[in-house]
Amino acid sequence: MSSKKIKKITIFIKIINNLSLQKSIIKRLNPNDYLSDIRKELIEHNVINDMLIYLKEENDEEFGEIEREDEMNFLLKDTITIKEGQNILYLKRNYWKILSNQFKLDYGRTMSIDGIKIAEKQAFIINNCELKEINKYKKGRIEFESKEDWMKKTNLFVDVENGNNNITNFAKFGLSVVNLHDKSFINEIQSAYQYTEIGKVSLKFSKQNLENLKLTDEFKNDVIDAINSKNPRERFKKITKEYGQFIPTEIILGGKVYFNDTDIIGEKSSKFYSFNYIRLLGGKHPDDENFDEKNWIESLKNYQNWECIEFKNPLNIFHLLFDDLRKQAFKSIGKRILYTSTENCDYYLNESGRHKNFELKNIPQNILEIIHDEESDCDIFATVVDTNANSKKVFFNCQILRKPNTKPSIIIHGIQKSFQKRRYNLKIKMMIIGYDKDFNFILPDTISVELIKNVYDPQNLLEFYSIPLKQKLNSMVTNGIPFFGIPVLSNLDSSNKSIIIGHNFCNTLSSNDFNIDVYSYCLKKKRYDKLPHFVFCTIIISDYPTSNFYASLPFNFKFLRNPFIDLNTSNISPKCVSLYLSKNNNYNPIFLSQKINQIKIKYLNCKCKRTCFVCKNKKVKISRNESDIECIVFD
């Protein structure tokens, strides 16, 4: 169409800014142009910017928003409002988007000693969020209860509820690169500050409102590549470094100023502003002058002077993945030890064969929820030690009881050579192992685990059974990779409540294959008995911090004593121990007795009169001349 034939009309362009109207801008425009073309023309002439959206008036002061992708379907003449002979085009400032772009709110963040770090790469695009004006004035005092508390508050997580494990874990990661023994750092934690805060607006979006979040193609492809890689754990660590650890779902913008606390530094002044501020977030103020609150507050009327002054409710960036991709991600990383605890246990042994059912009472609620979460696929490992180093002729055995839809418990049996009523003070160490749905695999104290489950449910029950194992145990011993095992029962009744299940790991020397030998002994009958139905869990600790202790130790021998290992420690915490036989010599079933400072081999007398499989076939005991047995110890 020729420009001579285009009939332009006068348009009054009105921009709505937080429900108030700015002065009109008058332009002559073609009413038959699409809004997409009108936008290009107005931007070219600096009339509007890209942060404005078109509105169509429905009723008085009620407007409908026209989405950007629909602008090519609307003509200007169908959008304008005619009032008192004026052609009015309404636009609305997409305020949240301006702020989102200015502060990179859709970028991940990581806590650090120098404050929040914004990621290099963008993981998500925020299409919309809730913006709320707050205009809140606040004065207060900040002090620190711990290193983690210091990290949280200096990274602008101020009002943190107790038990918010996400924020605590983000803080731990930030602390992992800090010299915690540095004197200046210790002094900083012992300091306190006064502050004045002006909160102007809050921006909030929620995980439930995922339609307002869109994964960037680059982030999505990097996650998929990591899942399919040979080493997903390391690839996800790289992703975290590039895209950040978390995204806050609520951000307060405005200004905040910090002052040294007069009570801490010993200044006796009745005037708060008699000394200079030490840190300014948002607003403008000359560096070489005492703080002028009035001028500082005035400078915050301009949103371009705002800064982030508080973060709330952060979510790990991987939590915001769509469910299927999120599940694939944490499963590809593998399982880890999610929780470790050492508990006291009073055990009254007043009847031969009687067990102690140790319930998980002191476990935090969030860990109990993880245990019952099917996606986490959790298992429990436990070990026990008698705190009385002088106890004799007794050792203890642990099994896990996990009935369907109930809280797991630890079954403890005390095994005496000849029964005597006794009370024992035990220490129980338990580990909760499962998939890390919170993606805390980058924490410095992370212990990665491979967990193998073997179901024992044969047609003909046996007293002794060998479970094939594909893993090369000899190379694991050589490379310092600990491995342990524990039986898990699905029920406990009169048929199995007096039965203990022992095990050892063994090299069969047949095609270099490996087995787990399992065997059961009835404390009531004083003989080897049929193995009950159970699941044997093998735990291989594939990666652990240098702070953990690992050793593969040989046994010592003395005349008239069972083989033993002196631990040379006064630490009463139970160790994870397992027995590895580099040869299969038809050894008599071996049980391990763990004391505070010693591990000892125990054999049990069988009253079957040489009729059971064990007594007929497993007769050899460990001797001084053999070097094919060692004890794996991990703490």
For residue 38, the domain's CATH number is: 3.10.20.90
Domain-embedded: residue 389: no
Report the pLDDT value the prediction gives residue 128, as an integer from 0 to 100.
79
Q: Are residues 53 and 143 in the same domain?
A: no
pLDDT tens digit sequence for 562-609: 899 998 877 778 999 999 998 888 899 999 999 888 899 999 999 999
pLDDT tens digit sequence for 430-464: 999 999 998 888 777 788 899 999 999 888 889 99
Q: Return the amino acid letter for 235.
A: R
Whether the pLDDT of residue 240 is over 60: the answer is yes
Domain-embedded: residue 120: yes
Unique residue bearing structure tokens 């949240």: 96
pLDDT tens digit sequence for 72-115: 999 999 999 998 889 999 988 777 877 888 888 889 998 888 88
Q: Decide if 134 contacts 217 (C-beta within 8 A).
A: no
- Is the C-alpha dihedral spanning 360, 366, 371, 373 positive or negative? positive
3-state secondary structure of 611: coil
Distance, in Å, from the CA atom of 543 to the CA atom of 52, rounded to the nearest integer, reads 52
Domain-embedded: residue 18: yes
Q: Are residues 65 and 198 in the same domain?
A: no
Domain-embedded: residue 9: yes
Reported as a pLDDT band with limits 50, 70 and 90, residue 271 is: very low
Q: Which residues of 555-586 are buried (b: 16+ CB within 10 A; e: fewer)?
A: beeeeeeebbbebeeeebebbbbbbbbbebbe
Report the pLDDT value the prediction gives residue 180, as an integer from 0 to 100.
58
User: Of 305, 323, 341, which closes a domain?
Assistant: 323
User: Of 323, 344, 359, which closes a domain?
Assistant: 323
pLDDT tens digit sequence for 364-411: 888 888 888 999 999 999 999 988 877 888 999 999 999 988 889 999
Bridge partners of 423? Answer: 348
Distance, in Å, from the CA atom of 167 to the CA atom of 258, rounded to the nearest integer, reads 23
Q: Are residues 64 and 157 in the same domain?
A: no
Query: Residue 50: which domain range?
Result: 3-93
Report the pLDDT value the prediction gives residue 130, as an integer from 0 to 100.
81
User: Of 93, 124, 143, which closes a domain?
Assistant: 93
Q: Are residues 143 and 291 in the same domain?
A: yes
Bridge partners of 515? Answer: 468, 506
Distance, in Å, from the CA atom of 179 to the CA atom of 195, rounded to the nearest integer, reads 27
Report the pLDDT value the prediction gives residue 277, as an integer from 0 to 100.
58
Domain-embedded: residue 623: yes
Looking at the structure of the chain, the number of domains it has is 3
Whether the pLDDT of residue 268 is over 50: the answer is no
Q: Are residues 149 and 76 in the same domain?
A: no
Whether the pLDDT of residue 560 is over 90: the answer is no
pLDDT tens digit sequence for 334-358: 999 999 999 999 999 888 888 999 9
Report the pLDDT value the prediction gives residue 266, as an integer from 0 to 100.
42
Q: Are residues 214 and 152 in the same domain?
A: yes
Q: Are residues 85 and 106 in the same domain?
A: no
In this prediction, residues 7-28 reach a mean pLDDT of: 75
Reported as a pLDDT band with limits 50, 70 and 90, residue 185 is: low
Distance, in Å, from the CA atom of 173 to the CA atom of 151, rounded to the nearest integer, reads 10
Q: Are residues 142 and 257 in the same domain?
A: yes
Residue 633: which of 537, 541, 562, 570 has the closest Cα? 541
Reported as a pLDDT band with limits 50, 70 and 90, residue 218 is: very high
pLDDT tens digit sequence for 135-180: 889 998 888 888 888 888 888 888 766 556 678 778 777 777 665 5
Reported as a pLDDT band with limits 50, 70 and 90, residue 206 is: low
Domain-embedded: residue 616: yes
Whether the pLDDT of residue 263 is over 60: the answer is no
Lowest mean pLDDT among 27-31, 328-332, 512-516: 512-516
- The DSSP string of 31-57 is TTSBHHHHHHHHHHTTS--TTEEEEEE
Residue 163: which of 377, 405, 364 has the closest Cα? 364
Reported as a pLDDT band with limits 50, 70 and 90, residue 2 is: very low
Q: Are residues 108 and 186 in the same domain?
A: yes
Report the pLDDT value the prediction gives residue 118, as an integer from 0 to 100.
94
Q: Are residues 584 and 513 in the same domain?
A: yes
Question: Torsion over CA of 539, 543, 547 and 552, rounded to 10 degrees?
Answer: 60
Q: Record the pTM.
A: 0.79
Q: Decide if 537 contacts 366 (C-beta within 8 A).
A: no
pLDDT tens digit sequence for 50-59: 668 899 988 7
Q: Are residues 173 and 285 in the same domain?
A: yes
Structural tokens at position 574: 């139970």
Q: Are residues 143 and 80 in the same domain?
A: no
